[in-house]
Chains A and B, each alone.
Chain A
């Protein structure tokens, strides 16, 4: 299966610790998105990259959150000094976007990383 993969699938940490998640997009997809989903809600956008450039960040992404995609392939999302409110499912999606305006962005999602902050 060459879909989007995310590691780890589950992470339990204590408040105040740092955590890092990894996302591997579908091969050759140039866009990579991060979302967060809490129970009973739809996913909320955090940030996205086109190749290695971070094009947009949500106001949800506080200073404790940082995302990178250094070589335009995989991406990492780091949360520093975790808080209980950070407990959520963190989703990654990727897509292939061309320059022509009629080629639209269809995002394919990974299985997510479930973070529990104790």
Chain B
């Protein structure tokens, strides 16, 4: 069965620090990969997605993620976080459409 693993459950950073959140998935076929974010009091929003092509994808608010097929990974990065990046982030995968399989989420707290 497909599964998604997010290694960091809670990350605490100071403003301007760099961020990398780990995401690994288990699935042998072709996948689409997503990062969703949920800011306090708001609903899930799409941060970025990978379907094909360039494995380095850029999303909103300066976030990017790199798909490394050999490692089954899709880590999320941001060079310099801001207080407004405080949120919970979810990595998700599907088999080229259909249901999403989500990781359990990483809560990011950015200290001003």
Contacts and interface: CB of A to CB of B under 8 A. Distances in A.
Nearest to A4: B43
A28 interface: no
B92 A42 contact: yes
B32 A107 contact: no
Chain A interface category by residue count = 20 to 34
Contact of B104 (A42, A48, A55): A42
B99 A48 contact: yes
A46 B104 CA distance: 16
Interface string B64-94: 0000000000000000000000000010101
A45 B96 contact: no
Given A105-B32, A109-B36, A41 B104 contact: yes
A42 B101 CA distance: 9
Contacts of B96: 101, 104-105
B98 A56 contact: yes
Contact of B98 (A43, A48, A108): A48
Interface stretch (B11-19, B44-52, B54-62): B44-52
A106 B100 CA distance: 10
Contact of A33 (B4, B45, B52, B99): B99
Given A104-B51, A112-B43, A42 B97 contact: no
Contact of A109 (B43, B52, B97, B103): B43
13 contacts: A41-B105, A42-B90, A42-B104, A42-B105, A56-B99, A58-B99, A102-B52, A104-B32, A104-B96, A104-B97, A105-B96, A105-B97, A106-B49
Given A42-B92, A110-B43, 17 more contacts: A33-B100, A40-B105, A41-B104, A41-B105, A42-B102, A42-B103, A43-B102, A45-B99, A55-B98, A91-B44, A101-B96, A104-B51, A104-B97, A105-B96, A106-B34, A109-B44, A112-B43
Interface of A: 33, 35, 40-45, 48, 55-56, 58, 91, 97, 101-102, 104-112
Which 9 interchain pairs have the tightest Cβ spacing?
Answer: A42-B102, A45-B99, A105-B97, A109-B44, A111-B43, A104-B51, A42-B90, A43-B102, A42-B104
